[in-house]
Structure 1
Amino acid sequence: MAANEVPSESPGEVRGETRRRASRYVVPVAVAGVAAATIGLVPALAAAGDPDLPEITAAQLIEKIAGSETQTLSGTFKVSTDLGLPALGGLVSGLGGQGGGASTADPAQKLTELVSGTHTLRLAADGPERQRLTLLDGSDEYSLIHNGDDVWAYDSRSNEVFHEKDASAGRTPEKELPATPKELADEVLKAAGDTTSITVDGTARVAGRDAYQLVIKPKQAGSTVASVKIAVDAASGTPLKFTLSSVEGGKPVVDAGFTKVDFARPDASVFAFEAPKGAKVTEGAAEEETSRKLPENFEKDFGEDFGKEFGQGFGDLGKGLNVLGEGWTTIAKLDTGAPAPGTDEAPKEIRGFLDSFGDEVTGKFGSGTLFKTKLVNALLTDDGKVYVGAVTKDALVEAANSGR
């Protein structure tokens, strides 16, 4: 076991402090979560020379993250992701709501742009009630503002505004958070169990601040994840950088972190918003149905029966769902009960569309199509079964061959 590696079990501890408010954890967790889910940072962030910091164990570092008092911050980070996806043009954004007159400011559509390419973002937070995220692309800006009960989004390119009420406002969490940072750290380590290695691997300078490097690696073979690395601010415990690497090597799938950060409280005016004069304002409820329409020219490109034929195989996604394996090699199996849309029974437009970014695979299960990214892979068999997970092609084929 490495010097800083966490043991499979951690001793309990008698509660020695009063229960902390849930909002204490909001900003650190939100920063890490947004980074992990949507963004990546170019390698130029690292400053020259690694700082000399006191030694710390992985358990202590996780406790430091959980115990962070950070509620306010503002900063800048850059976005660069490499999922290894094929070029799909405007298909993804179109499915997100571009057709049917949907607002271009709708976050459900706009934030899908972060899954590829390079972007610059500004972030400001003042506790759980006020946050602002601004996406800068050239001279255009897209801002997402949460201020109390309201969520606003503004797209300067189209001069459109999207507004909806915060559905989580005033809602009581269904599950109580751990009482102390130590309890939260213990739960994280317990969840890691025998499938995960958690260590501290040196230090770094991120956005001009000293940081520890927390490294998380699967112990199981077959996962597409090589490692997850989180740079944690040595003073505040706030995550500053998040890097997710694939076993395929090359550029990280996600490499996210601040270029500048300030933990002072942002001015209240940062979270104020008023729709610009002449802007089109769309209320969220009005977009619920129109956002599901297919993008313009979709039927022309892929056949008018595409939506009906493709959707037929996935009509009841909840039926026949089965989870195989555990930990990093978990695979979700779905039996759609219908032939796959890529078989000979499907229109040639559909088969051609799937063949353009899928690879044919065969095994004891028969034949099917494999759809690959650097992180998540999916196997769609010709008899309508779907196997999906952050696992390798061989792991998916083995699962299909097992007939489970």
Structure 2
Amino acid sequence: MAPIDSDDSTTAGEGEGLRAGRRRAARYVVPVAVMGVAAATIGLVPALADSGDPDLPKVTAEQLIEKIAASDVQQLSGTVKISTDLGLPDLGGLESGLMSGMSGGPGSGPGGDEQGSAADPSAKLTELVTGTHTLRVAADGPDRQKLSLLENAAEYSLIHDGKDVWGYDSKSNEVYHSTASGSPEQRAKEVPATPKDLTDQALKAVDDTTSVTVDGTAQVAGRDAYRLVVKPKQDGSTVGAVTVAVDAQTGMPLKFTLTPSSGGAAVVDAGFTQVTFARPDASTFDFTPPAGAKVTEGDEAAKAPEHGRAAEDGLAQQMGGLEVIGEGWNSIATFDTGGQGLPTASAGGDLGGFLGSLGDQVKGDFGSGTVFKTRLVNALITDDGKVYAGAVTKDALVKAADAAQ
């Protein structure tokens, strides 16, 4: 990572410690969640009211980043509220189904079907990328974690206990079982679910295109915290600022807020409404499939050829030429679909007209295409099948496409 803006001076000796702290911070990574045709980094956050500004010792941005990197919380339990507003049009649940289907897991069919299970975590947890959700989380070291997604009159739980990983959907009474080394659980981790997950990704993005400062204190979930503010220095990014409430005692992020450069409410909001760092009761991680529940063995399903896996492999092959152009917050992912642009209104009939109505038609040296916009991630699909996507403005995408000619 490159220099961080701060109002405090840093001596040469402190600089060495700072660089070490930056290297520790850089090891944290959260995989991206896929939205539409683009790989999009999604931030999450709840609109939690802060209760006062505690009087805490002054720290620099560098020291606070080092504190986050050194944080090693092993035991906790609490409640996290997540709200995401990407500004997508209301498609009657289609966007949620799209996200689930693109996870590529064996249970990617809505509600679960003969191709998979409604309890498959790689499909179920993609629901977190839209709307408002409440989670209960618990952890006891690296081998025991539990996450429960609370729904209307139902609950979905993902339990990791030693070598076993269980997913249980109470609504359908379906169970998904796999081992900790199975790929479905790795795919489930692609959806960041806690403020720490999101902060890890934000710190990874810190470089010389970024301003990082400490902006006072706050109290979140009854705990004293510092406010860390991360902002792009460059024009053209859709990210306005990332604000993280960092627990003053443990260094663990308690709240993560991402606001857009266009202003208005947060794109996403994720934070603890209640948290304790005591060891959870061992029974928290116990699970036995309920009587009559349908149990899907994920390790076996992952070996069998199925439609979801074939679709995933096809997309991966199609994106084999994925490149990243630009730097910092203005980075843009681009790949060539091989001439498979969007269907036109004439060629694609109703489908072509519908897709075209969701985007803005643009022209440039590259030719013509359609820009699909959210409050955070935008994507340009050219008529000849090239894709440009990133957390950048429409103008930045057109410039990138022109420059590639």
Shorter-chain TM-score: what band?
A: 0.7 to 0.9
User: Residues 151-187 of structure 1: CA distance to partner in whole angstroms, max 9, x if unpaired?
Assistant: 1111111101011111179xxxxxxxxxxxxxxxxxx
Structure 1 residue 393, shift from structure 2 partner: 0.5
Shift of 1:33: 10
Aligned twin of 1:115: 129
Give the deviation of 1:109 after TM superposition.
Answer: 1.7
C-alpha displacement of 1:115: 1.4
Change (3 A) 1:30 1:231: farther
Secondary structure of 2:208 counterpart? helix
Contact 1:104 1:160 (C-alpha < 8 Å) held by counterparts: yes
Change (3 A) 1:215 1:108: same
* Cα distance change, pair 10–366 in 1 and its aligned pair in 2 (3 A): farther
Please state how far the C-alpha of 1:67 moved relative to its aligned partner: 1.7
Q: In 2, Cα distance between the equivalents of 1:349 and 1:220?
A: 40
Structure 1 residue 90 displacement after superposition: 3.5
Distance 1:127 1:368 in 2: 49
What are the Cα deviations for residues 24-77 of structure 1, in whole angstroms up to 9, with x where unaligned?
A: x9xx9699999x857431234x22x21111100011111111222311000012
One-letter amino acid of the counterpart of residue 374, structure 2: T
RMSD between aligned residues: 3.4
Correspondence for 1:201: 215
Q: Which residue number in structure 1 is paired with residue 91 of structure 2?
A: 88
Deviation at 1:189, TM superposition (A): 8.2
Amino acid at match of 1:40: V
Equivalent residue pairs, number:
358
Instruction: State which of 190, 212, 225 in structure 1 corresponds to 2:226.
Output: 212
Instruction: State the 1:3 CA deviation.
Output: 1.4
Aligned position for 1:98: 109
- Whether 1:58 and 2:61 are equivalent positions in the alignment is yes
Aligned to 2:380: 379
Is 1:159 aligned with 2:162? no
How far apart are the structure 1 equivalents of 2:119 and 2:73? 30
What pairs up with 1:4-403 in 2 under 5 angstroms?
A: 4=8, 11-13=15-17, 37=42, 39-44=44-49, 46-47=50-51, 49-91=52-94, 92-93=96-97, 95-96=101-102, 97-98=108-109, 100-101=113-114, 102-167=116-181, 192-288=206-302, 289-290=305-306, 292=308, 316-343=317-344, 346-403=347-404
Equivalent residues of 2:319, 2:337 under 8 A apart: no
Checking the alignment, whether the CA contact within 8 Å between 1:333 and 1:387 is kept in structure 2 is yes
CA distance in 1, matches of 2:294, 2:162: 22
Any idea what SS the aligned residue of 1:41 has? coil
Evaluate the alpha carbon distance shift between residue 347 and residue 37 of structure 1 in structure 2; reply closer, same or farther with a 3 A threshold. Answer: closer
* Residue 3, structure 1, aligned to residue 7, structure 2: yes
Q: Which SS does the other structure have where 2:329 is aligned?
A: helix
The 1:50/1:330 distance shift into structure 2, 3 A limit, reads: same
C-alpha separation in 2, matches of 1:61 and 1:7? 17
**Cα distance in 2, alignment partners of residues 240 and 159 from structure 1:** 33
What letter is aligned with 1:324?
I
Which residue pairs with 1:179 in the alignment?
none
TM-score (norm 2): 0.79
C-alpha separation in 2, matches of 1:315 and 1:265: 41
Distance (Å, rounded) in 2 between the aligned partners of 1:61 and 1:32 = 23
Of stretches 82-91 and 63-72 in structure 1, the one that deviates more from structure 2 is 82-91
CA distance 1:156–1:136, change in 2 (3 Å):
same
Partner SS, residue 264 of structure 1:
coil
Deviates more, 1:360-369 or 1:156-165: 360-369
DSSP 3-state at the match of 2:172: coil
**Partner Cα separation in structure 2 for residue 193 and residue 31 of structure 1:** 17
Could you tell which deviates more after superposition, 146-155 or 96-105? 96-105
Q: d(CA) in 1 for partners of 2:18 and 2:324?
A: 36
**1:232, 1:60 → 2: CA distance?**
12
TM-score if structure 1 supplies the norm length?
A: 0.79
Contact 2:45 2:255 in 1 (8 A): no
Alpha-carbon shift at residue 215 of structure 1 (Å): 0.8
Contact 1:202-1:212 at 8 Å conserved across structures: yes
Offset from partner CA, 1:318-349 (integer Å, 9 cap, x none)? 44433211111011121222141323674324
Partners of 2:306 and 2:348 lie apart in 1 by 26
> Which amino acid counterpart does residue 292 of structure 1 have in structure 2?
G
Distance 1:15 1:338, change over 3 A: closer
Cα distance in 2 between the residues matched to 1:62 and 1:246: 23
Tell me, yes or no, if the aligned pair for 1:31 and 1:239 is still in contact at 8 Å. no
Question: Given the superposition, is the C-alpha separation of residues 253 and 189 from structure 1 closer, same or farther in structure 2, using an over 3 Å criterion?
Answer: closer
Q: Distance in 1 between matches of 2:12 and 2:72?
A: 28
